[in-house]
Amino acid sequence: MTEASETPSATSGKGCCLPARARDAALSPFATTLRSAPPADTVDIPGGTALVGTNTPVLVADGEGPLQRKKIKPFRMDATTVTNARFQAFVDDTGYVTEAERIGDSFVFMNFLPDDAPPTRAVAEAPWWRVVDGTHWRCPHGPGSEAAVLADHPVTHITWNDARAFGEWAGGRLPTEVEWEHAARGGLGDVPYPWGDAAPDDTGHFPCNIWQGQFPQADLGLDGHIGTAPARSFEPNGYGLFNMVGNVWEWTSQPFKVHSLKKSVQAAHAGKAGFKLSKGGSFLCHASYCFRYRIAARSGTSPDSSTSHHGFRLVYAP
């Protein structure tokens, strides 16, 4: 594994979870001819009273609370995050080029880099994130990593703008935070996880794909996966949705905002104007440093940012 060539780097980050580009690239994400998408594998999500947030926040500065009740209409949702195979169909049909491909780099978790990789720039606040030239969804660990793209795994290195372009082609859109949380709860109500109350651990309860071991040295892979797992893996929740927490972060349609009267909370989010909200955590999450694989957990990054642990799924009108 290579060491960072410089710190701080040309990028700035939001800590361990979702590093952000230092600038918004002036690129049009919709420079493509939209045609017709094959049918998606979706499940029906009932309407009614939806719960969002929690009265027992773990990361207060992220704006996890309070618990709110909101009316919601029925909708359909992708059973899984969008896979490499499905994104390939989109690219084949439209000729779309992702922002990471056009910008020329993306964020890669350091443990995925080969020992003989050239020096890389690190994110100052989270040096395990490296900016690697030539990285995008087709070669997620940098040039020469095409073999790491598995058809049934979530597509990664997808920006918010890329996800919206895919949504136009597929006839769907990114979910709101209320829709995402309502779907993730799977009919269980006020629970922290899509399966209920029992927290994952490092010893025997592995209901999702997260980190086991000491971060960031080595993921022990006790849940069966190091890096992404297939999009359709582990047990689905009560609505038939797979991997609503863990595996990859998922973009939502909304800005990342924290509504709080506390000056300390507002100060923690200074400089994040324009960030977009993501939900669900990823395979890099662990309770010891990034306890965000909970339904109420949230994070944000710039809409042109892409990483090796970020994907998306869509919702559709019923």
Each residue's pLDDT tens digit, 127-183: 999 999 999 999 999 999 999 999 999 999 999 999 999 999 999 999 999 999 999
Report whether pLDDT(296) > 90.
yes
d(CA 269, CA 245): 23
Report whether pLDDT(6) > 90.
no
Average pLDDT, the chain: 90
d(CA 138, CA 147): 9
Question: pLDDT at position 294, please?
Answer: 98
Question: pLDDT at position 11, please?
Answer: 33
C-alpha pair distances (Å), 168 with each of 157, 162, 280: 19, 10, 23
Question: pLDDT at position 50, please?
Answer: 98
d(CA 180, CA 297): 12
Question: pLDDT at position 266, please?
Answer: 53
pLDDT tens-digit map of 220-278: 999 999 999 999 999 999 999 999 999 999 999 999 998 654 655 555 555 577 999 99
Pick the CATH number of 47-103+145-316 from 3.30.70.1450, 1.10.150.20, 3.90.1580.10, 3.40.50.300: 3.90.1580.10
pLDDT tens-digit map of 55-70: 999 999 999 999 999 9
Query: Three-state DSSP class for 21?
Result: coil
pTM: 0.91
Question: pLDDT at position 235, please?
Answer: 98
